[in-house]
Structures are given as C-alpha cells and as structure tokens.
Structure 1
Amino acid sequence: MPPSRARTTLALALLLLATTACTAAEHEPTPAPQSLTVSRQARQLRLPLDAYASTVAETHLVEDAQDILIRRCMKDQGMDWKTLPPVDAQDTEPPNLRRYGADEAEALRNGYHPSPDPPSVIRRSRAWDARDALPAEVRRAAYGPSGKGGCLKAADRQLVGDTAPLDFHAFNQLTGTALETSRRTPEVRDALHRWHTCMAKAGYDYPDPYTAAGDERWETSEPTSAERATARADVACQKSTQLVKEWAAAETRIQHHLIQQNTHRLHEAKARKDHWLAAARHVLNHEG
C-alpha cells in the first residue's frame, strides 16, 4: 500500500463526480469545531456494500501500523521517522454523508460548502504535507525511487507477507453502479419529481439535489446567504418528500442483488482487507 492520505467517503466523491469537478483550495484551513456536526439521518445511513468498504478509520489503522514498521526500518539506517498524529474518532465522517444530496446539519451551517476539517484531521494532513518536504535521501530510504519501495515495501512485507495490496475496485465499481441504477428506479424518480416540485414552490429550479449542490454560483471561498437559503430549502424538501428514505430503500435492494451476483469477488476483497487490518492491529497492540 503506497503512502496516501485517507480522504472523505466514496459518497462524497460520487456526489462531486455527479455534479461538478472540484479541487480543494490550497490555503490555511479555517479553525473547526472539535467534532463534525452531521444530522442523525446521515449518521445512521448504512448500505449493504458498506461491509466491503474500507472506512477512513481503517485506512488510518493500516497507515499507523506501516508507520511503526517504517520507523524501525529507518532507525536501522540511522534515520529518524516521525509517525503520523492520530485522528480523533469523532472527527471522521459517516460513510454515506451526502450520498443523496446535502446533509441537513451541514446545509444549515455551511450551505453546500463542506465543513472545515477538525483539528485532528488538519494535524494529520499537515504531517503528510511535511513528508513532501523531507530531504531526498530520507524519502528514498522511506519510499524508494518509485514511492512504493524502501522501508515502506519492507514494512508491508513484514506486515502481510505476500498478501496483495487492498483492492477497492470491486466496491467502487459496484457502489457506483448501485447509486446510478437506484436513481433510475420508478420510486426514486417519483421522489425526485416531488423534490423538484417542492423546490419550485420555494422559488428554485433544480432537477435534483446534485444539481443544486453543484451550482457554479456556490464556487466561492465562503458560503453566501443565497447558498445557505437554497441548501435550507433543499433539505426541507428532502425531508417533506422522504427522498433519502425512498432512495436508500431502493439502493439497499439493488446492492443486495449486486452482492449476490458478485459474492466471490467481494468476499475475496474483504478477506484481503481483513488480513491487512488484523496484521495492523497486531503491530499496534504490540507497540511499546
């Protein structure tokens, strides 16, 4: 597993792909509250394919175990290695936040802008950035010329032997298929039509929540009053039309069907993930 930052959930990536291409602004992060504020609905939304995904916390777990083994390897070469700071458990987003549109709690506060990263997420991100500035000799020892060698390769070999790297392709492909297929079901199309009618009565003309969230008018450094008003109307219409409930029910049915069709592929990917996680926990439990 090459060095990488654990990002937000696949749901956010799917939402961004479905609306508009975005890049993160490169500036000092705004101070954030101690924990993420999300709605109860977003916290509780779970889908069948989630069982085969790797959460942000699990990605951090593997990274932390790799870091310990890299530090030992670097020490043998007479070099220091600073491990990544942890991310607080409450600072990781729920797995399906924004999957069907804006989250109520976020919309009320930030419109369609994502909430600022919490302090522990900022600290870990800055630690990753600091590694980009390491002396060339240190980077080569840690990652090798390819970025996948050096002490990282040795750490992975010590961690899981010849076990292949984590495979996210099956999950990513199937969860994307499930989202798009569920969007075309009669019940979701009806719910989206009701949402559109509700928004029109409030003075907004968007065909679906993705389009509302992706309006180019919201490409500002801070949420505007118009953006917040639109987002408030959006989530109010989602609630009154039971859009999320209808969509989640349809996608749950479709995901169960996809799991049945891809049982071997998914179980193989999950077994590989479970092996990595067990090995990582073993390293972390025996550290010190």
Structure 2
Amino acid sequence: MRGQLDPATAQIVLPLESYAMSWGEVQTVNHANAIAIEKCMAKKGLTFPRASQDWSALTPLPDRRYGLWAPADAEANGYELPESSQSKDVQAQEDALGPDWWQDYQGCFKSTKQLPVMGVNTSPDQSVVDRGMNESFEALLASDEFKSTREKWLSCIQNGGLAANKDARVLVPQFPSAGEEQLKVAAIDVQCKESLNSVQTLADWEATRQAEYIDGHEGDLTAYRDKVKKVVAQAQKLVTTVGG
C-alpha cells in the first residue's frame, strides 16, 4: 500500500478515504443541502446566495496532513490557507444582508432536513472511516518512522537557517507572518521534504497501517460506502432536478 500524492493540487490520498465521500461528492451534497435551505429562505421572501454559486468550481484545500509539502502550494500560499474569489464574493454578499437575514438563515438551517455529509472527519459523530484515519495518524506520530523522518527533516531545515516549531505535532518550522519572508521559509521547508522524500515516506507508513484496518473492518467499511453512494445519489437527483 502506498499513499497517493498529487503535488499540483497538494492532495494526499490514503486508502481509507475511498470509503468516504470524495471532495466532489461532498460538494454535491452541500449543494443539495443549500438548495433545501434556499427553499426555506424563499418562503420568508429572502435570497440565499450560497445556493447559486458554482459548486463545481470549488477546489479542495491543500492537504497538509504532515505539514506544508507541495511546491505550488508553498509558492502561492506559504503557510496561509487559500480562499477562492468565489467564496469571498459569497461571504461578502451574505455579510451585507444584515443580522436579521442571518437570524432567518439560522432558523432555516436548524429546521431544514439535510443530507449527511460523509467525508473524512466532516461529522461530529466519528464514522468507521474517521476512526481508522485518526488511529493511523496517531500511530504514525508515535512511530520510529516518524521520529526518524522528523529528525532528518529537522537537520535539513536547520542547515537552511530555520528552526522547528516546538508546538507543532507534524513537520512545521517556525515561520513569520504572511509575506515574502514567510514564502522564503516555506520554500526551504518544502525543498527539504522533497529531497528527503518525507511526505511519501509518512503517507506510505499510514497506508500500510490503514490496509490492516481495512482487513479488520471490511464489512463495516463496505456498508458505510454503500450508504455514501445512496446519499450522493439523492443529492445528485436534487441538484439535477431543482438546481440544475
């Protein structure tokens, strides 16, 4: 088992994730839920800008499970999280609608029946997928593999003039606030991880651990994925017939 890395999108895909909703599936369900809330808001004579945004254009946040690692992400964002212009526009529209609108929205949100979002760690109730993802991560942090990988990375960044962030559980150096200096730190950090193959090493260790978990929970995981498929199908039907 190996972890699948996509540096262009800064995504890390581990075996257990195939049983949960993908990013696209999560957005389909979110879109369907937004349409349901929009109906409630319309009954009050109000708009709901979020429902009419281009959901297919939303991109996943960088996966920094072990720390910043993708060159494109480091160059564009440093250690900050990117925000799409569409998300900013929708948020600005909603903020401009005032406190009464927000109160009505909260009412609709609570009273509207919504489909469950079954991505990784997207629900307050831990799923069989969440449990396996979290167990493999905690096991990794306690492993000799992680200790060895961290020591090699730490030596590399120190040679580059950086220092470790003692409060970080993963491979994150100390870095300044957003700006050019932060981007320089990010470049050194990522170059070290690339030269040492740090992230692939850690992802492969977790993937192997997750393979064992899958073997021991195959029935529960398959049942969970079957439920995911049913929810996504419901969401797709709603989006196609009402929001399409």
Tell me, in whole angstroms, the C-alpha distance in 2 between the residues paired with 1:55 and 1:127.
28
| Pair 1:247-2:202 in alignment | yes
**Which residue of 161, 180, 183 corresponds with 1:203?**
161
Find the counterpart in structure 2 of residue 228 from structure 1.
183
Find the counterpart in structure 2 of residue 57 from structure 1.
24
Tell me, in whole angstroms, the C-alpha distance in 2 between the residues paired with 1:179 and 1:172.
11
* Aligned ranges 1:1-288 → 2 under 5 Å: 39-40=7-8, 42-43=10-11, 45-72=12-39, 77=43, 79-84=45-50, 85-87=52-54, 89=56, 91-93=58-60, 97-102=63-68, 103-115=70-82, 117-126=83-92, 129=95, 133-135=99-101, 138-139=104-105, 143=108, 147-149=109-111, 152-153=112-113, 156=114, 165-166=116-117, 168=123, 169-170=126-127, 171-206=129-164, 213=172, 215=174, 218=176, 220=177, 222-225=178-181, 227-287=182-242
CA contact (8 A) 1:101 1:210 kept: no
> What value does the CA root-mean-square deviation take over the aligned residues?
3.3
CA contact (8 A) 1:62 1:280 kept: yes
Tell me, in whole angstroms, the C-alpha distance in 2 between the residues paired with 1:213 and 1:48.
24
Q: Compute the TM-score of the two structures, normalised by the length of structure 2.
A: 0.75
Q: Compute the TM-score of the two structures, normalised by the length of structure 1.
A: 0.65
- Closer, same or farther: CA 55–127 of 1 in aligned 2, 3 Å: farther
- Closer, same or farther: CA 114–201 of 1 in aligned 2, 3 Å: same
CA contact (8 A) 1:106 1:114 kept: no
CA contact (8 A) 1:52 1:266 kept: yes
Tell me how far 1:274 sits from its aligned partner: 2.0
Tell me, in whole angstroms, the C-alpha distance in 1 between the residues paired with 2:231 and 2:193.
39
Tell me, in whole angstroms, the C-alpha distance in 2 between the residues paired with 1:285 and 1:39.
32
245-254 or 105-114: bigger deviation: 105-114
Tell me, in whole angstroms, the C-alpha distance in 2 between the residues paired with 1:128 and 1:260.
46
Find the counterpart in structure 2 of residue 6 from structure 1.
none
Tell me how far 1:104 sits from its aligned partner: 2.0
Find the counterpart in structure 2 of residue 24 from structure 1.
none
The letter for the 2-side match of 1:119 is S
Identity of aligned residues (%): 21
- Closer, same or farther: CA 250–285 of 1 in aligned 2, 3 Å: same
CA contact (8 A) 2:66 2:199 kept: yes
The letter for the 2-side match of 1:223 is G
Q: Structure 2, unaligned stretches of length 5 or more? A: 1-5
Tell me, in whole angstroms, the C-alpha distance in 2 between the residues paired with 1:178 and 1:229.
32
Tell me, in whole angstroms, the C-alpha distance in 1 between the residues paired with 2:237 and 2:9.
34
Q: Structure 1, unaligned stretches of length 5 or more? A: 1-37
- Closer, same or farther: CA 176–56 of 1 in aligned 2, 3 Å: same
Tell me, in whole angstroms, the C-alpha distance in 1 between the residues paired with 2:222 and 2:197.
33
The letter for the 1-side match of 2:65 is R
CA contact (8 A) 2:140 2:205 kept: yes
- Closer, same or farther: CA 69–203 of 1 in aligned 2, 3 Å: closer
Kindly tell me the number of residue pairs found equivalent between the two proteins.
Answer: 228
Aligned residue for 1:148, secondary structure, equals helix
